[in-house]
Amino acid sequence: MSSLPHPETASPRTSLRTRVLEDRPVNKDGFVQEWPEVGMVAMDSDFDPRPSIRIENGVVVEMDGRERADFDFLDQFIADHAIDVEAAETAMRQAPATVARMLVDPNIPRAEVLRTARGLTPAALLETVKLMNIVEIMMGMQKMRARRTPANQAHCTSARDNPLQVAMEAAEASLRGFAELETTLGVVRYAPLVAIALQVGGQVGRGGRLTQCALEEATELDLGMRGITAYAETISVYGTESVFVDGDDTPWSKAFLAAAYASRGIKMRFTSGTGSEVQMGNAEGRSMLYLEIRCILVTKGAGVQGLQNGSISCIGVPGAVPSGIRAVTAENMIASMLDLECASGNDQSFSHSPMRRTSRLMPQIMAGTDFVCSGYSSTPNYDNMFAGSNVDAEDYDDWNAIQRDYQIDGGLQHVKESEILAARRRAGHALQAVFAHLNLPPITAREIETAVYAHGSNDLIPRDVLEDLKGAQSVMDRGVTGLDLVKALHEGGFADVAENLLTVLRQRVSGDLLQTSAILDGNLEPLSAVNDANDYAGPGTGYRPSGERWEQMKKLRHVTSAENPEVEVE
């Protein structure tokens, strides 16, 4: 039996229960009061403008209380390229409550909401979502996402930038169901080898995975042009002019970069998120969500097919203020409401609390988005070079169980150990063949066998970093392309992997990867908002796991036989 202490000092007594609560993980998180004057407020600030619009001769001359002569460059870009002046006056006559009800009313088709949304100003969009609680925002997201079938994206990285590890993580992630795979580096000069590894590994498992290497913009574009990667999404946009200027960028420069990617059929998303402007010290006294809505409209105006948002690497900021996670969910829904592909964050860890971590991802996985995570770490978090994800390789079984519990599709499935080991080994040997063909630093059989069974980079055999970096530079100097990888795979005895990669390159040339929400299905055919448009219209409609997919999702690591509880079924 425990006994309460009897303090000898006059300090306030603390109950044993409070001491237990103090030690809970959630109390290691940071929480702050709102401070609207500097933008430390999620979505409800007296300093945000009120909705308004005036159009003369087809030109927006006043928007959200600001005359055109007073527009900053975001206002001008949004007014000239994002607001549909044909729809604006009718849309702006709708009360925010009317638009909010359109979002949750299954009798109002998605297309009708899109027609209205494209005429709304940033302040009008904000006033609309401020009326919606979290369940209503999820209802809106379920109806408004572009692609009918949800999907997911993985981060495949290595704390040592080990290309062999990245190839194997990509193969395993592909097998587990991720449609897109992204990597980044600790040492940027490693990028060519790691990007090649990601591409090769992504074509092993089930194949047809789209890959990206997040870097500074020139090298990232170069790798895409060569066909070593298939998409880009780390082109950041911001909600205030001062932050844009701080980065030597403008909405026009970002639009130009987006056009460069699109000119070669490379899939492209911008990145933004609540909290970035206040974190960079230039929120200009606006709420986080108001500024994020401006980013979403800049993305729309630039003609980009989609947006990675959901606060992303700034999640600690909205996560610390009241209603912050609701605002993050709302920004995902608004991206969908404007007919953009939405990769809905969950990228960065933000809480010590397992309960908060799970609650953070529930709106997206419950409602379904184009990519539930834009950064599920396929590695243990210590290997995640994007600063750690909200979910990582140790959460696979939990994720699969949640999918099964609710019959919701988060894009993943359980895979037998034997299949994972086989895919990892095959990816290792495929990369070994590619490196040999390109005269890159060799990969030994011992390295491969060690990596097949490894949990993370701490378990790997260290590589000769200097020789790897020389090899990486030679990839750039020799102009190695995606077709060189196809040839290397084919001549190395991996014809099926070569064919998968060649198909991805063909789809890029055809331009089909530029369709909103494009991924490749099991037959390596495009699945997008064009041929798989979201048709949710209330109970019994829209996507829900069924047939072969549902049977797949019922499988977990340990499921016992109904006939014999002593036996586990596969």
From the list 75, 347, 409, 447, the catalytic residue is 347
**pLDDT tens, 459-500?**
999 999 999 999 999 999 999 999 999 999 999 999 999 999
Q: Are the CB atoms for 436 and 429 separated by under 8 Å?
A: no
**pLDDT tens, 363-415?**
999 999 999 999 999 999 999 999 899 999 999 999 999 999 999 999 999 99
Distances (CA, A) of 55 to 68, 95, 114: 10, 19, 20
> Has residue 250 got a pLDDT over 90?
yes
From the list 127, 182, 392, 395, the catalytic residue is 182
Annotation says 233 is catalytic: yes
From the list 155, 414, 429, 490, the catalytic residue is 155
Annotation says 341 is catalytic: no
pLDDT at 443: 98
Q: Which long-range contacts (CB under 8 A, 24 or more apart) does 250-259 make?
A: 250/73, 251/73, 251/74, 251/77, 251/298, 251/301, 251/302, 252/77, 254/298, 254/302, 255/301, 255/302, 255/303, 255/304, 257/217, 257/221, 258/302, 258/303, 258/304, 259/303
pLDDT at 6: 54
Q: What is the mean pLDDT of residues 139-147?
A: 98
Mean pLDDT of the chain: 96
Query: Residue for token digits 């040339």?
Result: 509
> Has residue 1 got a pLDDT over 50?
no
From the list 45, 48, 75, 153, the catalytic residue is 153
From the list 75, 169, 180, 233, the catalytic residue is 233
Q: Are the CB atoms for 317 and 278 separated by under 8 Å?
A: yes
Q: What is the mean pLDDT of residues 167-177?
A: 98
From the list 45, 165, 203, 308, the catalytic residue is 308
**pLDDT tens, 496-536?**
999 999 999 999 999 999 999 999 999 999 999 999 999 99
User: What percentage of the chain has pLDDT greater than the value 90?
Assistant: 95
Distances (CA, A) of 345 to 15, 183, 263, 274, 309: 39, 15, 27, 11, 6
For 46, list phi and psi in degrees, rounded to 5: -70, -15
Could you tell me which residues come within 8 angstroms of residue 280 by beta carbon, excluding any fewer than 6 positions away?
Answer: 238, 243, 246
Annotation says 490 is catalytic: no
Q: Angle, to 10 degrees, between the axis of helix 110-117 and the axis of helix 96-104?
A: 150
Q: Are the CB atoms for 345 and 57 separated by under 8 Å?
A: no
Question: How buried is residue 418: exposed, middle or buried, by Cβ count under 10 Å (0-12/13-18/19+)?
Answer: exposed
> Has residue 2 got a pLDDT over 50?
no
Token pair for residue 517?
Answer: 């929400």
Annotation says 308 is catalytic: yes
> Has residue 309 got a pLDDT over 90?
yes
> Has residue 222 got a pLDDT over 70?
yes
Distances (CA, A) of 76 to 247, 285, 301, 327: 19, 19, 11, 25
Annotation says 374 is catalytic: yes
pLDDT at 11: 80
Task: Report the first-to-last Cα separation within the chain, whole angstroms.
Answer: 47
Where is pLDDT greater, at 217 or 101?
101
> Has residue 196 got a pLDDT over 60?
yes
Give the span between the Cα atoms of 289 and 137, in whole angstroms.
Answer: 14
Local structure of 518: helix, strand or coil: coil
Give the span between the Cα atoms of 144 and 534, in whole angstroms.
Answer: 7
Q: What is the mean pLDDT of residues 548-568?
A: 95
pLDDT at 3: 46
Given pLDDT bands bounded at 50, 70 and 90, which one contains residue 12? confident
Token pair for residue 156?
Answer: 């495949």
Annotation says 23 is catalytic: no
Annotation says 155 is catalytic: yes
Cβ-count burial 107-119 (b if 16+ within 10 Å, e if not): ebebeebbebbbb
Q: What is the mean pLDDT of residues 314-318?
A: 95
pLDDT at 8: 59
Rounded to two decimals, the pTM is 0.96
Q: How many residues belong to the chain?
A: 570
Q: Are the CB atoms for 516 and 305 separated by under 8 Å?
A: yes
> Has residue 7 got a pLDDT over 80?
no
User: What percentage of the chain has pLDDT greater than the value 70?
Assistant: 98
> Has residue 263 got a pLDDT over 50?
yes
Local structure of 170: helix, strand or coil: helix
Q: Are the CB atoms for 261 and 268 separated by under 8 Å?
A: yes
Residue 6: count of CB within 10 angstroms of its CB: 6
> Has residue 328 got a pLDDT over 50?
yes
Given pLDDT bands bounded at 50, 70 and 90, which one contains residue 5? low
